Amino acid sequence: MKHPLKPVLLSALLLCMTAGVSMAEDEMPELPAELQATLDALPDEKREYLMEEGEGFAGTWEKLFVRLRGKTSTEIEAFVDAMQYLENASKFNPETDMASIPLNTEAKDFNGWKLMNPRALATQREPGPINLSYYAQGGRGGIQTFANAPVAIYPEDLVAGDVEVAIVGAPLDMGTYYRGQKFGPQAMRTGYYHGGNDMATMVNPSKVLSIVDYGDIAIDNMSSELSVHHVRERVAEIARTGAIPFIVGGDHSLEYPDIAGLADVHGKGSFGVVHFDSHFDAGKGQAHYITHGQPVYRAIKEGHVKGENFIQVGLRGPWPGAWGFEWMRNNGMRYHPMAEVEKKGWKAVMEDALREAREGTEKLFISFDVDVLDPAFVPGTGTPVPGGLTMREAIPIVRALCTESEMIGFEIVELDPLLDNTYRSALNANYIMHACLTGIAMRKTGITDGSYLSELSTEDNQPRAGKRALKDGDAEEIDPDYGRPQR
């Protein structure tokens, strides 16, 4: 996410601030002499309040002093009264506010939206993945699926098929302020690119791994709070079978239930997280506990992942301020903003992130928000920030992380195809997912060096290779009549 504006300031008097900005970052400079006597005339409690909270309301101490200059003590007292009114009026009032949104528990279909179809009502068949394609080559017709993979419906299908990766959609977008991410799974299923051979490594994950499309997780489009609990259940369901859940979102609210679901199976604090995002998503203190700007805080707060095992990559833009970086430092988190890339270069930053991901725990979950990429590559996202990663930077690091780590989960989120009238956002999202699948496949074949590249695709070995082929009779013979009708 992304920093929603928090309307806590009186528009006629005060400046707007972004949510999450701390109230008093800097020490107060010396009070201007012309204000000293005026402020001394204020009641003690109001003067104290102004000196504690004034910077946060005005933005900086200097801006506060400018606003107060020339005002009488009565006018300044009214200013303080307005500040205190806003603070008090913003708080929860049990007499006028609902502590929670009531639900109709008398509804006969209260849980109907997430009920699994009983086996007695389902098509009777042997457990295992189902190939939906009518055509032998699979991807050129029939029903489109993630990675052109077979479909699985029940956990028994995953077990019977020895499934290693289950790709599941999670079409949730109520945790964001720009809707459309719920169409992300649909766009990636129907996108132009669905996998195949990775030319850089000459590894084809679809041939090495058992991959399935596990459908979409049911979402109650009236409630993020209800939905994320069901997402957590379904992610844990996949993990318990031994398959790696790949979650296709949906907005970044999903990071919380995805991490929590994995922790339910693998144990709290047992794995690391690499979070690719232009925003740090550790906001707190909002009325809603779960939005696409708060999943990191909640995952850390509830102990699902340790701060020292959490790595941020790609941060940029206006959020967070210094307070956010101090919070990450205080919780042992590692971070690599684009400012560090500018300072050290991408190669050094990538090497640091890869090394850090291997420290503390071998197990790894990757959370990939597509807005970590520059908007030139993914215009289809609700919170684009210029100056992001290129695809040429993102693919190698994702592939390397998934090669060098014991992957227990992967998510790709915040793809909003409604904001892109081309196919490139979904195209690039599929390429990112395929990079991780390639890394997992490489690891299965015994390749654990994330920097591995195939000699075949990186060296032409000419003229030696051509001369040898000519000698061995492997070079193409010239045929002037090739492609012409037989005479």
Contact indicator for 466, 475 with CB cutoff of 8 Å: yes
Q: Are 453 and 200 in contact (CB under 8 A)?
A: yes
Residues of the chain under the 70 pLDDT cut: 1-26, 138-140
Strand order in the sheet with 334-336: 211-216, 165-170, 244-249, 406-413, 363-369, 272-276, 310-313, 334-336
What pLDDT sits at residue 26?
57
Q: According to DSSP H, which parts of 302-407 are helical?
A: 322-330, 338-344, 346-357, 391-404
Query: What is residue 13's predicted lDDT score, i.e. its pLDDT?
Result: 35
pLDDT the model gives residue 43: 94
Domains of the chain: 5-90 (no CATH), 145-444 (3.40.800.10)
Q: Which of 164, 131, 130, 161 is nearest to 441 (CA)?
A: 164
CA-based diameter of the chain, in Å?
109
In angstroms, the Cα distances linking 436 to 67, 178, 467, 482 are: 54, 28, 38, 41
| Collapsed DSSP state (helix, strand, coil) of residue 212 | strand
pLDDT at residue 142 in the model: 80
Query: Where would I find the beta strands (DSSP E) of 63-184?
Result: 165-170
CA distance 294 to 281: 5
Q: How far apart are CA 339 and CA 387, in angstroms?
A: 10
Task: Provide CB contacts within 8 A for 326, sequence distance 6+.
Answer: none
**Residue 349 CA from chain centroid, whole number:** 19
